[in-house]
Chain A
């Protein structure tokens, strides 16, 4: 029954998103939906799904529920890579920029893992805090580079995820999220075993290093795709997997699709709200979501001890 309700809510959101915009549908309605509303709706859904999935994988890799890509310095690392491209080879094709961003995101995440290995695990709160500090340092570095190269406004366009610029031809890279999601579904069981920790995973016959590398590459690519096309959305990767696992338990393969759909719905809902609040102007979807996400994050922190002991 509940999954049915979720699907119904998602469908309602999609219809609302298609119906809502600064232009009226009375003239050329079909054309408008095709070039503007559908791309925007798809972009929000794909970005949300990608971020939620990236959150799931990161949480399994570091065995901590309170971590997500934006709490491991990954978007900041990707920004550093993008800034480097902008300074060194501004004319590079989008595919190249995307690859550089994914590569630097991966490097940033490896740095976080090196830190995570040295963080005591008794207190689950410690790791997200370390990640927050680490991301802050990378972000400050990016700011410094941008500041000295007069690229602050440029950095600003990534820092706040939103969909106002999305029209046909501006978001298609996000469809790669769907491909990565399919890949994750295939290896979902192995990713689950990752979450048991290295010793357990090895004794179950898993090639730990290779599986972990695969997971990290997928997360880097998801982060880079979303960052380059629409910008940073904090909390999605944290909120979606946590709420779903509280609701449905921890079967990763069974949850993967639901988590992706939930993340997609959350981001789309934030975008729809951002379009409504100051119609016909816009509030960035990331701003709307951050308000909601921060609240859920606080609730998760509060609820955490009860769960750990129970």
Chain B
């Protein structure tokens, strides 16, 4: 108790002089005080990198690889400072960034990187993914003095969501499916991909799927039985750059062929990396919404 009190006092004394330029940012670990307008920024979360890029914030350090082709230009101009999971501490120490952003797969590294520079955990997680994505946009806007850009980006996102809502309305129910090396699992509204149901109003083909993050392993018979009108397919192998059995090959079998989705040509292969690696990134979400608008918009319903 006493050591905690002492530590608290010490922190207060240390923090006091810079308090004036500090700013409170809403992060995944609660509100955190950091210096406003950091110049040199290192980012370990692809969703964060995606949103910062959309806001026009220059990023000095990025993970390698960045997985999203839309971010390859940003990555080419920045320095690699580790992977999605593991920071390269030496590179970080040399860079001496003003701020380090971790999140998702790198969130456990918040403690270790905090020893090098101020760090925040901007993980986007759980069933209200779009809500959190909007909160992050607002937080970055305040932190980097890009409030106007943040408002414009949120407005773009809202417009895209509204467009997707119109596109899927009245076109039938859908099932989110992940393929992985010849096997499949399904995801419900409460899952990590659930915002595709909740945010844009796509009815669930199968009610009551557990809200488990890793989905439910099922057989192809499960698909034949529930006969979804739309299948939204995420290829896990493609998400991580593995050249395994492609989703199209996995789903090319008599049981899937029997479903309404297959017969009507309503199997939508969503780009996996934006959904799987960069979930909650502003650009990634809009890319996925564009794909949905294109697929559902083309159907007569």
Interface positions of A (Cβ within 8 A of B): 21-24, 32, 35-36, 40, 86, 90-91, 150-154, 156-157, 162, 164-165, 167-170, 275, 280-284
Contacts and interface: CB of A to CB of B under 8 A. Distances in A.
A136 B216 CA distance: 29
Contact of A23 (B225, B236, B242): B225
A142 B76 CA distance: 31
A152 B180 CA distance: 11
Contact of B216 (A157, A162, A281, A284): A281
Contacts of B218: 22, 164, 280-282
Contacts of B242: 86, 150-151, 153-154
Closest 4 CB pairs of A and B: A157-B181, A22-B222, A23-B225, A90-B243
Nearest to B84: A150
A168 B253 contact: yes
Interface string B237-271: 10011111000001001110000000000000000
B217 interface: yes
B189 interface: no
B273 to A, nearest CB: 12
Contacts of B225: 22-24, 280
B221 A36 contact: yes
B182 A167 contact: no
B219 A282 contact: yes
Contact of B224 (A23, A40, A168): A23
11 contacts: A22-B222, A32-B224, A35-B254, A36-B255, A86-B244, A151-B242, A153-B242, A167-B254, A168-B254, A275-B219, A284-B217
Nearest to A229: B182
B255 A165 contact: no
A153 B180 contact: yes
B240 A167 contact: no
A153 B241 CA distance: 11
A122 B222 CA distance: 53
Given A162-B217, A283-B217, 7 more contacts: A22-B219, A22-B224, A86-B244, A154-B244, A170-B182, A170-B253, A282-B218
**Looking at B221, B225, B242, B253, which has the most chain A CB atoms within 10 Å of its CB?**
B221
B244 A36 contact: no
A22 B242 CA distance: 30
A105 B269 CA distance: 36
Contacts of B220: 36, 165, 167
A275 B220 CA distance: 13
Nearest to A147: B85
A22 B183 contact: no
B217 A281 contact: yes
Given A151-B242, A164-B217, A157 B222 contact: no
A165 B222 contact: no
Contact of B182 (A152, A165, A284): A165
A164 B244 contact: no
A165 B216 contact: no
A167 B221 CA distance: 9
Given A22-B218, A36-B219, A153-B236, A164 B253 contact: no
B293 interface: no
B222 A280 contact: yes
**Looking at A24, A90, A167, A283, which has the most chain B CB atoms within 10 Å of its CB?**
A167
B184 interface: yes
A294 B180 CA distance: 28
**Looking at B65, B180, B255, which has the most chain A CB atoms within 10 Å of its CB?**
B255
Interface in B41-80: 65
A32 B65 CA distance: 44
Contacts of A35: 253-255
**Looking at A23, A152, A168, which has the most chain B CB atoms within 10 Å of its CB?**
A23
A284 B185 CA distance: 12
Contact of A157 (B180, B241, B253, B254): B180
B18 to A, nearest CB: 40
Contacts of B253: 35, 167-170
Nearest to B240: A150
A165 B221 contact: no
Contacts of B254: 35, 167-168
Interface string B190-226: 0000000000000000000000000011111110110
B244 to A, nearest CB: 5
Nearest to A284: B217
Nearest to A168: B254
Contacts of A153: 180-181, 236-237, 240, 242
A111 to B, nearest CB: 27
Contacts of B244: 86, 90, 154, 157
A165 B177 CA distance: 14
A283 B180 CA distance: 16
Interface in B140-194: 180-184
A165 B243 contact: no
A93 B173 CA distance: 37
Nearest to B216: A281
